[in-house]
């Protein structure tokens, strides 16, 4: 439920809110859905990227970086528990 | 004997994370494919969404404005009304002067194109990409290379790609855009480059007496005001100073533009896919 709401809200914020708020939502959501920042970055570039305005699709790039960082952090945090 | 084992920790993502991640990525990919394969349909589908976003932004602005002090609002309103009257009077005077000069220098005045009025469908909310998507394309007579002018004839950018019903304008503040302009009342020439997020930069010799508040002009039909200098950055190791230019009209709040083919502003690389 919370994953669905976060996904919907983050995607909607790309169109309805300024990008810093979208970035905040994406970073917060990444703790629940690590691939979401990458997907949202791709969606933002689909809407706004123009080859004349920049050579690199920045939103996708930043999304991929956040996704990569989140996966690494989660891997570190999810320590193995010795069960008896 | 008790068995001791390590819980599984090799997976980077749990099945739930992965399924939601794949779902979101799939959604983003579908939208991307739609834009690449059917760009005209894509913009037609998303135009109502952007219109809703605009309406929402406008209503929220009105709501927040209503919380402001009524006395301050009345004073501001009165000041703006006075300024409006002053500008209208000045405009009339200038129009008369222009008409006199045209009659003096061009006996048979050439036909002036009124341009194509186009509504703005999408504008990045102060994103790194300074572009506008317009609801006018080849069907309305738009071609690549046309200049876009905002309210008051302020040059905003150039049409960089066109579809059947939509076109994209790359703003003057876009990072890849460079053009020649002038600064100050003496009209010092300088090369202006887009800095993104609506701002522009220019470098000029330290000896040039340019100060904060000086007006910056771009070529168009004559010299057209595009912005003002808001900061002058000086580095002792560099012979020149860097001028930070703020546009006279916020490109991220324009609702419509006029497209004209004057051929004087600047040229950028244009492609056919917006």
Question: For B15-42, what is each residue's pLDDT tens digit?
Answer: 666 778 888 889 889 999 988 888 888 8
**Closest CA of chain B from A53, distance in Å:** 5
In this structure, are strands B155-162 and B167-171 parallel, antiparallel, or unpaired? antiparallel
Is B176–A33 a contact, with Cβ atoms under 8 angstroms apart? no
Q: Where are the beta strands (DSSP E) in chain B?
A: 5-6, 116-122, 131-134, 147-149, 155-162, 167-171, 178-183, 188-196, 199-205, 215-220, 222-234, 240-247, 256-260
Q: What is the mean pLDDT of chain B?
A: 78
Q: What is the pLDDT of residue B110?
A: 47
More confident residue, B102 or B258: B258
**Closest CA of chain A from B193, distance in Å:** 12
Q: What is the pLDDT of residue A38?
A: 92
More confident residue, B104 or B247: B247
- List CB contacts (< 8 A) between B126 and chain A: 18-19
Least confident of A34-38, A54-58, A76-80, B199-203: A76-80
Q: What is the pLDDT of residue B96?
A: 75
- Tell which A residues from 10 to 69 touch B, by Cβ distance under 8 Å: 11, 15-19, 32-36, 38-40, 42-44, 46-55, 58-59
Instruction: Please state, in angstroms and rounded to a whole number, the distance separating the CA atoms of residues A80 and A47.
Output: 41
C-alpha to C-alpha distances, B239 to B51, B231, B242, nearest whole angstrom = 48, 17, 10
**Is pLDDT above 80 for A35?**
yes
Q: What is the pLDDT of residue B216?
A: 87
**Is pLDDT above 50 for B111?**
no
Helix, strand, coil share of chain A (percent; to 5) = 70, 0, 25
Cβ count within 10 A of residue A26: 29
Q: What is the pLDDT of residue A65?
A: 93
Which range is most confident: A75-84, B38-47, B54-63?
B38-47
Is A71–B9 a contact, with Cβ atoms under 8 angstroms apart? no
**Closest CA of chain A from B23, distance in Å:** 9
> Of B29, B49, B176, which is closest to A54 when you measure between CB atoms?
B176
Q: What is the pLDDT of residue A80?
A: 58
A80 touches chain B (CB under 8 A): yes
Is B20–A40 a contact, with Cβ atoms under 8 angstroms apart? no
**Is pLDDT above 60 for B6?**
no
Q: If pLDDT is split at 50, 70 and 90, which confidence band does A39 have? A: very high
Beta bridge partner(s), residue B232: B243
A1 touches chain B (CB under 8 A): no
**Is pLDDT above 50 for B271?**
no
Is B168–A52 a contact, with Cβ atoms under 8 angstroms apart? yes
**Closest CA of chain B from A47, distance in Å:** 8
Mean predicted confidence (pLDDT) in B147-172? 85
Q: If pLDDT is split at 50, 70 and 90, which confidence band does B127 have? A: low
Q: What is the pLDDT of residue B227?
A: 85
Is B122–A47 a contact, with Cβ atoms under 8 angstroms apart? yes
Helix, strand, coil share of chain B (percent; to 5) = 35, 30, 35
Is A84–B4 a contact, with Cβ atoms under 8 angstroms apart? yes
**Closest CA of chain B from A35, distance in Å:** 5
Percentage of chain B surpassing pLDDT 70?
Answer: 81
Instruction: Please state, in angstroms and rounded to a whole number, the distance separating the CA atoms of residues B40 and B46.
Output: 10
Q: If pLDDT is split at 50, 70 and 90, which confidence band does B236 have? A: confident
Mean predicted confidence (pLDDT) in A73-80? 73
Give, as one character, the DSSP assignment of residue A35: T
Instruction: Please state, in angstroms and rounded to a whole number, the distance separating the CA atoms of residues A50 and B259.
Output: 19
**Is pLDDT above 60 for B11?**
no
Instruction: Name the 3-class secondary structure at B14.
Output: coil
> Of A36, A50, A83, which is closest to B21 when you measure between CB atoms?
A36
């Amino acid at each position: 439920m919370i994953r669905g709401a976060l996904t919907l809200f983050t995607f909607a914020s790309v169109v309805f809110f300024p990008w810093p708020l979208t970035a905040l939502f994406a970073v917060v959501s990444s703790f629940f859905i690590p691939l979401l920042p990458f997907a949202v970055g791709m969606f933002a570039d689909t809407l706004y990227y123009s080859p004349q305005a920049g050579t690199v699709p920045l939103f996708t790039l930043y999304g991929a970086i956040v996704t990569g960082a989140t996966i690494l952090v989660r891997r570190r945090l999810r320590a193995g528990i010795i069960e008896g | 004997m008790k068995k001791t084992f390590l819980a599984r920790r090799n997976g980077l993502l749990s099945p739930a994370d992965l399924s939601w991640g794949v779902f979101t990525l799939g959604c983003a990919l579908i939208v991307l494919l739609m834009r690449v394969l059917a760009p005209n349909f894509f913009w037609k589908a998303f135009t109502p969404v952007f219109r809703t976003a605009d309406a929402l932004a406008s209503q929220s602005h009105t709501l927040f404005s209503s919380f402001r002090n009524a006395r301050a609002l009345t004073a501001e309103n009165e000041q703006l009304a006075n300024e409006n009257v002053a500008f209208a009077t000045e405009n009339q005077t200038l129009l008369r002067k222009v008409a006199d000069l045209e009659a003096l220098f061009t006996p048979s005045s050439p036909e002036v194109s009124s341009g194509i009025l186009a509504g703005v469908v999408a504008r990045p909310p102060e994103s790194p990409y300074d572009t506008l998507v317009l609801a006018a394309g080849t069907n309305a007579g738009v071609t690549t290379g046309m200049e876009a002018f905002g309210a008051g004839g302020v040059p905003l950018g150039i049409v960089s790609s066109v579809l059947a019903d939509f076109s994209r304008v790359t703003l003057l503040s876009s990072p890849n855009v460079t053009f020649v302009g002038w600064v100050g009342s003496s009209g010092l020439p300088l090369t202006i480059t887009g800095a993104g997020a609506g701002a522009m930069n220019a470098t000029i010799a330290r000896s040039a007496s340019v100060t904060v508040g000086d007006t910056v002009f771009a070529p168009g039909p004559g010299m057209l005001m595009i912005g003002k200098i808001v900061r002058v950055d000086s580095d002792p190791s560099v012979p020149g100073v860097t001028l930070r230019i703020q546009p006279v009209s916020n490109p991220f709040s324009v609702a419509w533009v006029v497209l004209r083919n004057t051929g004087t502003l600047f040229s950028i690389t244009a492609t056919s896919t917006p």
